[in-house]
Structure 1
């Protein structure tokens, strides 16, 4: 699966990335069969809550329990997108109910939706036309803190400086 898009490095607490062990990571979902097997192993209680997801640099969706860290789900690697996702069974088929880019470890831009859409289309899951909840992340040029922009107010909640309207969370990316 070949996907293009911005790669996002982990920008969260270093200790969380240091705890990731080689070979760990979320469950790879390469196909409809993979998803079918994965969802069959989930309990009804698990399926009520959203799951942590990442789309790896290979374009493959990886899923983990909601309270998992995105960096652990990604095996410590860069991603094309990250967030939370929930599923619903409609007319005998599974579909995406809600999906967001809410990952404070990777802070992906809303433009990362294309990678998510491509991964979901590749496994045949019906999906919305975009993130059902978009999170706008920005890094403050003054204090360097990561912010979630709310209600279009591009002001740092930590120091009051303006934050840019374009994505700038990873100074290297």
Structure 2
């Protein structure tokens, strides 16, 4: 698969990445056959919940249980996108009925959707035309805290500075972690 999008490095807590085991990572879904094998190994209860996903820089979808960290699903590597995904069975095929870019470890921009779409198409899965829930991540240029923007309110809850319109989460020096604006300072 050709890689076309921006890649995202892990920007979450360092202690989560530090405990990764070599060879770990989510289950790679590069084809309809891969997805069939993966689904056959899941219980009905598991399939009723969303899953953690990443799209690796190789363009391949990787899946892990919902409570998995995205950095673990990616094996610590950079990704083209990350988030949560839910599948539903339709007559004759599986389809994605809910998918978001909600990953506080990678904070991918909503513009990462085309990479997700290509990975889902490559796996033979029906899909929506975009993220069903878009999460907007921004880093404050004033205090350098990272936030989830809610209701298009591009103002830092930590210091009151204006947040940029364009994605800017990955700081050049690698400092900082994401904090959800609903909960305020951690």
Residue 87 of structure 1 is matched in structure 2 by: 87
C-alpha separation between the residues in 1 aligned to 2:72 and 2:157? 28
SS in 2 for 1:37: helix
C-alpha separation between the residues in 2 aligned to 1:130 and 1:27? 23
Residue 11 of structure 1 is matched in structure 2 by: 11
Residue 183 of structure 2 is matched in structure 1 by: none
Give the CA deviation at 1:142. Answer: 1.3
Alignment of 1:57-76 (within 5 A): 57-76=57-76
Give the CA deviation at 1:160. Answer: 1.6
SS in 2 for 1:81: strand
Give the CA deviation at 1:171. Answer: 2.1
* 1:146-171 deviation per Cα after TM superposition (whole angstroms, max 9, x unaligned): 10001100011222211101000002
* 1:83-130 deviation per Cα after TM superposition (whole angstroms, max 9, x unaligned): 000000011310001000000000000000010000001111010000
TM-score by length of 2: 0.91
Residue 151 of structure 1 is matched in structure 2 by: 151
C-alpha separation between the residues in 1 aligned to 2:92 and 2:122? 19
* 1:46-94 deviation per Cα after TM superposition (whole angstroms, max 9, x unaligned): 1111000000000000000000000000000000000000000011310
Residue 50 of structure 2 is matched in structure 1 by: 50
Residue 96 of structure 1 is matched in structure 2 by: 96
SS in 2 for 1:158: coil
Give the CA deviation at 1:10. Answer: 0.3
**Gaps (5+ residues) in structure 2?**
175-186
8 A Cα contact 1:47 1:87, kept in partner: yes
Runs of 4+ deviating beyond 3 Å: none
C-alpha separation between the residues in 1 aligned to 2:157 and 2:148? 9
